[in-house]
Structure 1
Amino acid sequence: MGLNEAPLLFNFEVESSENFTYIPMSVRFNLDRFGLRITLAQWQMLPLEDRKLLARFPVEEDTEIEPNFDHALFEMLRTHANVEPEWFTPEEAPAWRCTDSVPDGVALQAGLAGLATPSVARWAELDPFKRYVLAKLSRKPEANHDFVPAMREFGAAG
């Protein structure tokens, strides 16, 4: 499959990522998929072009089409920050993969924002990466400033 031609950013991320000062959702997805953790400080030590390159990796779960996100990240961090990412065991069945119920966190965030929780049918229709993004933005019990713009962009806001 190869790299995307441009970094994968949703419209709501363009402003909030502040030109890749913050880790975009596409990179977070691949970090979570590979069981890798980096700090914001480590991310910010990488040159802007490296950050943009990491955001061009596909957001597919099929590791066969994966062009070495983990290897690229390790090499970039070693070269520019003299560190390695932390390893963790990825969740086997994260809530965003489930299409027969809306995760509790998403329902909570919708409630905090005064939005209707997406129906199970609407949740199931969402692209898996969009379900991942909404679940990721919903992992804390306080309102997330990107949740409402993401819900609107994905057509999930009632």
Structure 2
Amino acid sequence: MNQASHCFAFEHDFIGSWRCIPLCVRRKLDLIGLKLKLNHWLALSQEQRQQLVDWPDEHQQLNALRDHLRDCTSSMADGMAKNLPPACSEPWQQPNRIPAELIDAAQKQGVELDANAWSKLDELERFALCKLARPGHDHHNLPAAFSEVLG
């Protein structure tokens, strides 16, 4: 799987229309430390959104993505996309340790998630599960995510 541009089946309701920011783009935003609001995303053209989905995730290309998004958003009504600390040692970046909140979420869903299964997931899959299981998030896609990623 090309995790830079992979969209999950559970995201199918907005793939192509790109009315929401897909997880592959959200991962890139976390990696570059940039907060792109949904309003920013929706102000971009369909072609621009597709370009962000397809954007490679190698280090040099991610640096270019940060600059590109700052340029694209600088004149938008919501102002330039805000800087955040780039993701570093986030739970989804650690294949050897399952986050406690994800273990709890899996148990509540009746899903078996062990260290072996977690370590076999790629970074985007771990990212998706962590984002969908975090406290305060609408968990309606979590069962489908567990099924797709672990199935």
Scaled by the length of structure 1, what TM-score is found?
A: 0.80
Return the alpha-carbon distance in structure 2 between the equivalents of residues 39 and 12 of structure 1.
21
Q: Letter of the 2:32 partner, please give it.
A: F
Alpha carbons of structure 1 residues 82 and 139: separation in structure 2 relative to 1, 3 Å: closer
Alpha carbons of structure 1 residues 46 and 34: separation in structure 2 relative to 1, 3 Å: same
Q: What is the aligned partner in structure 2 of residue 25 from structure 1?
A: 23
Return the alpha-carbon distance in structure 1 between the equivalents of residues 43 and 133 of structure 2.
27
**Which 5+ residue runs of structure 2 have no aligned equivalent?**
none
Return the alpha-carbon distance in structure 2 between the equivalents of residues 48 and 123 of structure 1.
34
2:104 to 108, 118, 122: 108
Identical columns (%): 24
The reply to whether residue 138 of structure 1 matches residue 139 of structure 2 is no
**Superposition CA RMSD, Å:** 2.4
Q: What is the aligned partner in structure 2 of residue 52 from structure 1?
A: 50
- For residue 90 of structure 1, report the CA deviation from its aligned partner: 2.5
- For residue 58 of structure 1, report the CA deviation from its aligned partner: 2.5
Q: Letter of the 1:99 partner, please give it.
A: P
Return the alpha-carbon distance in structure 2 between the equivalents of residues 71 and 108 of structure 1.
38
- For residue 143 of structure 1, report the CA deviation from its aligned partner: 5.7
Q: Give the conservation status (yes or no) of the 8 Å contact 1:46–1:81.
A: no
Alpha carbons of structure 1 residues 144 and 94: separation in structure 2 relative to 1, 3 Å: same
Moved over 6 A (4+): none
**Which 5+ residue runs of structure 1 have no aligned equivalent?**
none
1:78 to 74, 80, 83: 74
Alpha carbons of structure 1 residues 36 and 9: separation in structure 2 relative to 1, 3 Å: same
Secondary structure, aligned partner of 1:68: helix
Return the alpha-carbon distance in structure 1 between the equivalents of residues 85 and 53 of structure 2.
22
Q: What is the aligned partner in structure 1 of residue 85 from structure 2?
A: 89
The reply to whether residue 120 of structure 1 matches residue 118 of structure 2 is no
Scaled by the length of structure 2, what TM-score is found?
A: 0.83
Q: Give the conservation status (yes or no) of the 8 Å contact 2:40–2:78.
A: no
Q: Give the conservation status (yes or no) of the 8 Å contact 2:35–2:83.
A: yes
Return the alpha-carbon distance in structure 2 between the equivalents of residues 142 and 80 of structure 1.
27
Alpha carbons of structure 1 residues 143 and 24: separation in structure 2 relative to 1, 3 Å: closer
Higher mean displacement: 73-82 or 124-133: 73-82
Q: Give the conservation status (yes or no) of the 8 Å contact 1:106–1:135.
A: yes
